Homo-oligomer: A and B are copies of this chain.
Amino acid sequence: METEKDLKNFVESISPPLNDYSKIIQNRLDNLTKPLGSLGLLEDFVKKLGTIQKTAFPKINKKRVYVFACDHGIAQENVSAYPSSVTAQMVLNFLRGGAAINVLARQFDVEVKVVDVGVNYDFINIQNLIERKIAKGTKDFLLEPAMTRKQALESIFIGIELVKQAKEEKVECLIPGDMGIGNTTPSSAITSLICKKPVEEVTGKGTGLSDEELKHKIIILKKALEKREIVISDPLSILSQVGGFEIGAIAGFALGCAYYKIPLIADGFISTTGIALGTCFSSKVKDVIFPSHSSLEKGHSHLLQFLNLRPILNLDMGLGEGTGGVLAVVLLESAINLYNNMATFESAGVDKRE
């Protein structure tokens, strides 16, 4: 069992990028048959990918999304439009290939891994499910801390360990997705704390609350945040007081990506909450993150600002699972494709600027 000391050591051992490959990559980009800089953010992506992968020719051959699933004690406060039973049912749906993330992952050749970090259901003899159940859901953080400090630590190390394994399996791009009825509520709590924004500004309708129900959710969140004893400077305190197991696992996942130098695409509100929490442990997480979409969920834009990420997709989506992240993978691939396969001014016999 890992200790807080182990986490501290791990975080401190994350190295900064060895070399900045931006210059050498930009040089090649500027020789391709297009106006200077006209591929916009796609040019930035190639440079960032190259710097992470320590090469002037980055590539993304093997891509994988991990859907972290768990239940939330706070769901008993009527903060979601769906019953908690849906969490386990959706896990089975993921494993049968029927969910949105499965359809998109097939389209874009992305592997889907499903991780039970705390679903309130006994999965028995279920193939392909990665079993890392910490408990059968968190506690209701209106009444008590969502989890123990030990559980928070455990969730983080689950994320780190999965990245280690992915690295060994030569995965070159990772997306953390989420499933868990009630999980926008802890995400709003954490967003409010780390972005220093009032609850109202970071709390949305989740899977489809009415205006009335949203008001109730905000009241619950405010009360809960008043009751909990949170040390804002200590991300483990934030996580254990109000967090979810999947948020902790995603924070660890982000730390793992920073350590093992794997490009990480942020998905929606819960995914980005976990990654943002990861940056509270180590700002070096920022060196490996790529943006995807702007979620319908209200708090997401604050998190993106906190992470200094600009969304590249505006689709008004709001279902998590990693769906927005998977849609963005193909744009990273386009960036690499263009960089590798366009003709240069010289090879094409095209005149340069006057």
Chain A: residues with CB nearer than 8 A to chain B?
32-42, 81-83, 85-86, 89-90, 92-93, 96, 98-100, 103-104, 106-107, 206-208, 296, 310-319, 327, 330-331, 333-334, 337-338, 341-343, 347-354
- 22 pairs from A and B in contact (CB 8 Å cutoff): A32-B100, A33-B93, A34-B100, A36-B207, A37-B208, A37-B318, A38-B208, A38-B317, A39-B315, A40-B315, A41-B315, A86-B351, A89-B348, A89-B351, A92-B349, A98-B347, A99-B348, A103-B338, A103-B342, A313-B314, A315-B331, A327-B331
Q: Do residues B81 and A354 form an inter-chain contact, with CB atoms below 8 A? A: yes
A303 to B38, CA, bound (A): 20
- Determine the main DSSP class of A at the interface with B: loop
A96 to B343, CA, bound (A): 9
List the B side residues contacting A86 at CB < 8 Å. Answer: 350-351
Which of A89, A350, A354 has the largest count of B CB atoms less than 10 A from its CB?
A350
Partner of A342, one of B41, B98, B315, B333: B98
CB distance from A76 to the nearest CB of B (A): 13
A351 to B89, CA, bound (A): 8
Q: Do residues A99 and B343 form an inter-chain contact, with CB atoms below 8 A? A: yes
Nearest 4 interchain pairs by C-beta: A98-B343, A40-B316, A35-B207, A38-B319
Q: Do residues B39 and A319 form an inter-chain contact, with CB atoms below 8 A? A: yes
List the B side residues contacting A319 at CB < 8 Å. Answer: 34-35, 38-39
A216 to B74, CA, bound (A): 62
A37 to B206, CA, bound (A): 11
